[in-house]
A and B are shown apart, each in its own frame.
Chain A
Amino acid sequence: MKTYDFNQQYISKIEQEVALSTENVQVHYGKSHAIFDASLDFPRFQITSLIGASGSGKSTYLRCLNRMNDRIAQVDGKILYRNTDINSKNINVYEVRRHIGMVFQRPNPFAKSIRENILFALRNNGINDKKELQERLETSLRDAALWDEVKDDLDKSALALSGGQQQRLCIARSIAMHPDILLLDEPASALDPISTSKIEETLKLLSKNYTIIIVTHNMQQASRISDYTAFFHMGHIIEYNQTKNIFTAPEIKATEDYISGDFG
């Protein structure tokens, strides 16, 4: 494996409004150091993709952003959201997760009906108005490009849907909470090309109203849908820039090698 100098970094500054940023985030799994000094700004209403080899720390970093690592790893550093450090001890993590939603690699709908999958968490957050619930149900399913396929089967079990539909249901479930930011960890890696392109379209549409951060192994996907791209290597963020720059004129040798497939 080629070795690269981790001190060679290129992190571009974001000129527009920032939705979320991290400052010197460190993650430890027990004694092993998984993320080193990660400092990034995520632009509002844009799609940012996180790329890098397997084990480079993309998921670990992403899960810090809505405190999903709480019981798993030690996370130090600052994560700023609306001028608040959401990585501090006295933060209401449930509230954080309502603002910053997450979709996982494998679809994980609840063993409930399609309708209940969407409404369950809403009700638990105190939304009981029938009209409001109905409205959110339909809008979220429409936004996730699933409405037309399921509108007649809302009371059927979500587990009877195909993998691609289940994943779109999970996206709908997240956006029904009206989060600000949506985190997605390889949401399309288990899906066929058609489902994948549907999800990509969905994300493109959603980026009008949401800030999206997505982990992907698929370079074409990253270049197709994202505005910004961060390249991870062995726990370090090596390069962060507008996607078009990363894919056409990377600043760092490691990035160039990774993108051209001449890596390791």
Chain B
Amino acid sequence: MNAKKSDKLATGMIYGLVGIVVAILVALLGYILYNGVPDINWHFLTSEAQSFSAGGGVRDQLFNSLYLLVLALIISFPIALGAGIYLSEYAKDNWITDIIRTSIEVLSSLPSVVVGLFGYLLLVIQLNLGFSILAGAIALTFFNLPLLTRNIEESLRSVPDLQREAGTSLGLSGWKTITKIILPMALPGILTGLILCSGRIFGEAAALIYTAGQSAPSVDYGNWNLFTETSFLNPMRPAETLAVHIWKVNTESVTPDSSVISSASSAVLIIVILIFNLGARYLGNKLFKKMTAAK
């Protein structure tokens, strides 16, 4: 076989494989959207879930998912940023760093059920947080931290060393160089990673079932005092998320329209995650352009 022929064959094979991946993705997404989108309407998005009768919505679950996401990011982003900066800029190549890296890798491959059960034992039982948004957010932090740290470290590393030398040679301190020169250049990558992590958190169920709980008590969306019981912002209340809702509706629901609710909720979930993903690309590109190209 000559080079040209084998090249053609290899190219064809690669196209074929890519085609299979794309086909599976399109089929999955298409199936979920096709089944769910027709049942999404304003009423579905803005009314409470029903336990026994038909016609329930996902208002509280949708809000809970978003609220948990925000809380989880508020907790995990600063930690991940610090750890990422440390690993990429300060850590020496020695056994301590190796241990940290390995732990992060192990943590990132931990099944989320394990994270959930660990969160249950530690946060819900031991620390007495009960099934609560706070417990859920902390469990999600465990779940999210390794990937986010990795992402931030990689983004910082991808900034050429020449930039660090430029800063240093102008008499800037290491910290100034990192915060004012390296970090801005890494920002598009960090942002993209952050939003992709958000998608992962948003779709997560297993880590939340035993931490944030499976019930969505009625809350008052007009009560902004997060220290009162009925406030929608109260972090100590249990909060069923959209992903947990889907799981619950499918396993133990007795509402007559459970299949409709499940497919519509799945579609909502997928759409939000798609928005995150597209948003990540758009924002990342835009930021990068803004920094590199002429204004």
Contact = CB atoms under 8 A, between A and B. Distances in A.
B228 interface: no
B170 A157 contact: no
A68 B171 contact: no
A157 B294 contact: yes
A160 B169 contact: no
Interface residues of A, number: 30
A23 B4 CA distance: 62
A173 B295 contact: no
A108 B165 contact: yes
B90 to A, nearest CB: 10
B292 interface: yes
Interface in B165-198: 165-173, 176, 180-181, 184-185
Interface in A138-157: 153, 155-157
Nearest to A117: B166
Interface stretch (A38-46, A99-107, A127-135, A247-255): A99-107
A10 B180 CA distance: 46
B291 A111 contact: yes
A157 B295 CA distance: 7
B294 A111 contact: no
The majority secondary structure among interface residues of chain A is: mixed
Interface residues of B, number: 22
A68 B169 contact: yes
Contacts of A121: 167, 170-172
Contacts of A111: 163, 184-185, 291-292
15 contacts: A68-B168, A95-B171, A101-B169, A101-B170, A102-B165, A104-B165, A109-B166, A110-B166, A111-B292, A121-B167, A121-B171, A121-B172, A157-B295, A159-B292, A159-B293
Interface of B: 160, 162-163, 165-173, 176, 180-181, 184-185, 291-295
Given A108-B166, A111-B184, 18 more contacts: A68-B169, A97-B168, A98-B171, A101-B170, A108-B160, A108-B162, A109-B166, A111-B185, A113-B295, A120-B180, A121-B172, A124-B180, A153-B294, A157-B293, A170-B166, A173-B170, A174-B169, A177-B170
